């Protein structure tokens, strides 16, 4: 892909004179180059692992997803390696268009992202739009398997209660846990929320401070879905919820659809080529 970029740059395909707004050409060029470099780094990391690789957004997401597998499928070895991609921008490079990468991949690479505004905006491709409801694994044109988190019944009820459009629902890794569990974590000093509402919920509000979402207190389950987890609490909560005593199907029920789909997908596609021929 980088070779193709260099070829087009040399033969005049990217000639600034051909662009409607030539002054933005350096910005576009650097953005494309940065995305390709980031993608190359992530694929290189994945190829160093013996198992299929699942990329998640942040470092605190990795232990939670691993704990979800152990809670939902106790005693079953995890047939993939989890790697943090390093943020939303890095995840965006995994959603890039083009089929050339698919032909070059020599292992199964997967990506799991939050089902919030940032996660849903990672790609504007038609194949990605089919995944935005959450909980469904699909392979993009570039060969990488993608899934967005699935909003649970409790989150759904809260959003419908306040008539929040589905396009603005904020389903993050932490939002996949019940309000009761996060309330308990907060009492034990392992969880906290930001002062502001989720950015997705602010879209369209005429007067933020008079909206009923601001009036919620901690006894209302909706409070824990309206406010994002405090950044300083994310790793602390990941360690707390991953404690062996909390690895129950009930605690991790919000990951059931995603993890079950992942299990089926890897059973079909995750083996090395020689094993697939004999399966």
What are the tens digits of pLDDT across the range 160-217?
998 899 989 999 999 999 999 999 999 999 999 998 888 888 775 555 555 788 888 8
Higher pLDDT, residue 4 or 273: 4
pLDDT for res 106: 76
Does residue 57 carry a pLDDT above 90?
yes
pLDDT for res 10: 63
Higher pLDDT, residue 4 or 28: 4
Label residue 150 by pLDDT band (50, 70, 90): very high
Label residue 60 by pLDDT band (50, 70, 90): very high
pLDDT tens, residue by residue, 128-142: 888 989 999 999 988
Q: Where are the domains of the chain?
A: 1-48, 153-248
State the average pLDDT over residues 152-167. Answer: 93
Label residue 28 by pLDDT band (50, 70, 90): very low
pLDDT-above-70 percentage for the chain: 79
Does residue 24 carry a pLDDT above 50?
no
pLDDT tens, residue by residue, 79-136: 999 999 998 888 998 888 776 677 667 789 999 999 999 999 888 777 788 898 999 9
Does residue 237 carry a pLDDT above 90?
yes
pLDDT for res 276: 38
Tokens describing residue 84: 């943090």
State the average pLDDT over residues 41-63. Answer: 93
pLDDT for res 70: 97
Q: Helix axis angle, 179-187 relative to 234-241, nearest 10°?
A: 110
Mean pLDDT for the chain overall: 84
State the average pLDDT over residues 215-236. Answer: 93
Label residue 27 by pLDDT band (50, 70, 90): very low
């Amino acid at each position: 892909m980088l070779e193709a970029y260099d070829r087009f740059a040399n033969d005049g395909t990217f000639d600034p004179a051909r662009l409607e707004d030539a002054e933005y050409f350096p910005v576009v060029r650097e953005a494309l180059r940065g995305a390709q470099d980031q993608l190359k780094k992530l694929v290189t990391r994945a190829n160093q692992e013996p198992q299929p690789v699942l990329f998640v957004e942040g470092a605190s997401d990795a232990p939670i997803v691993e704990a979800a597998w152990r809670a939902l499928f106790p005693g079953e070895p995890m047939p993939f390696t989890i790697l943090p991609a390093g943020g939303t921008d890095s995840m965006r490079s995994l959603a890039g268009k083009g089929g050339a990468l698919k032909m070059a991949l020599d292992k199964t690479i997967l990506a799991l992202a939050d089902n919030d505004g940032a996660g849903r905006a990672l790609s504007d491709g038609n194949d990605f739009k089919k995944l935005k409801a959450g909980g469904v694994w699909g392979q993009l044109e570039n060969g990488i398997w993608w899934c967005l988190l699935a909003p649970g019944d409790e989150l759904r009820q809260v959003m419908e209660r306040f008539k929040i459009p589905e396009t603005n629902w904020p389903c993050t890794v932490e939002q996949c846990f019940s309000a009761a569990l996060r309330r308990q974590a907060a009492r034990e000093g392992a969880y906290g929320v930001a002062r502001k509402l989720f950015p997705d919920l602010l879209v369209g509000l005429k007067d933020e401070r008079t909206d009923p979402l601001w009036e919620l207190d901690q006894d209302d389950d909706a409070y824990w879905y309206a406010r994002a987890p405090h950044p300083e609490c994310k790793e602390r909560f990941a360690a707390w919820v991953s404690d062996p005593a909390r690895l129950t199907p009930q605690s991790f029920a919000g990951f059931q659809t995603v993890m079950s789909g992942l299990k089926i997908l890897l059973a079909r596609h995750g083996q090395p080529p020689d094993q697939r021929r004999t399966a």
